[in-house]
Amino acid sequence: MPKLTPDGFDAFLDERGHLARIATVDTDGLPRVLPLWFIAIDNQILFTPRSPAIIWKNIVRDPRIGICIDEEASPWRKITVQGMARVVHEPGHDDDWRDIYRRIAKRYVADDAADGYVDGTDDQPRALCAVDLAAPTTKVVTWRMPVTGEDPRGIWAKRYYLPGTKWAYE
């Protein structure tokens, strides 16, 4: 299964427009997935749940988290993360990190619209949360489509090719 190179990994996370689909655990044990804006800084995925959001309440109660960042068109790269969310700033301390939130917003909308959005919602408390990609307990998996010259069977992990099937590794 082809993986992203370290440079490809960083470049993909820096590209504008990709959403982080973030999974938390609800009080009933069921998963909740929410697409959110994010930014990657210093080998961390940073995101900003609002204080009344269920995802925020879930993180406070149970910091286990899953993240998928992918793209809808070729080359269909993806990064999945399992780890622990860390609260960098509690809601109500937004002035301490608003510059990061402004950087996040500018990854998704034009600068003037991002400034208007951030300035227009600065009275709605948010938390700044992080997942450390280098933490020993964090699991990161990357994937990309095979390129010319690579075995097309690389699209899947070998465990998916059952013996006796057309593309089986035998």
In CATH, which superfamily holds the domain spanning 6-160? Electron Transport, Fmn-binding Protein; Chain A (2.30.110.10)
DSSP letters for the chain: -----HHHHHHHHHSTTPPEEEEEE-TTS-EEEEEE--EEETTEEEE--BTT-HHHHHHHH--EEEEEEE-SSTT--EEEEEEEEEEEE-TT-GGGTHHHHHHHHHTTS-HHHHHHHHHHTTTS-B-EEEEETTSTT-EEEEE----TTS-GGGGS-GGGS-TTSTT---
**Contacts with 107 (C-beta within 8 Å, 6 or more apart), sequence order:** 16, 17, 37, 39
Question: Cα Rg for the chain, rounded, in angstroms?
Answer: 18
Instruction: Find the mean pLDDT for residues 6-22.
Output: 96
| Domain range list for the chain | 6-160
pLDDT band at 91 (very low <50, low <70, confident <90, very high): very high
pLDDT band at 161 (very low <50, low <70, confident <90, very high): confident
Percent of the chain surpassing pLDDT 90? 79
> What pLDDT does residue 1 have?
67
Whole-number average pLDDT of the chain: 93
Chain centroid to Cα 59, Å, comes to 15
116-159 pLDDT tens trace: 999 999 999 999 999 999 999 999 999 888 777 877 777 777 78
Quote the pTM value: 0.90
> What pLDDT does residue 45 have?
98
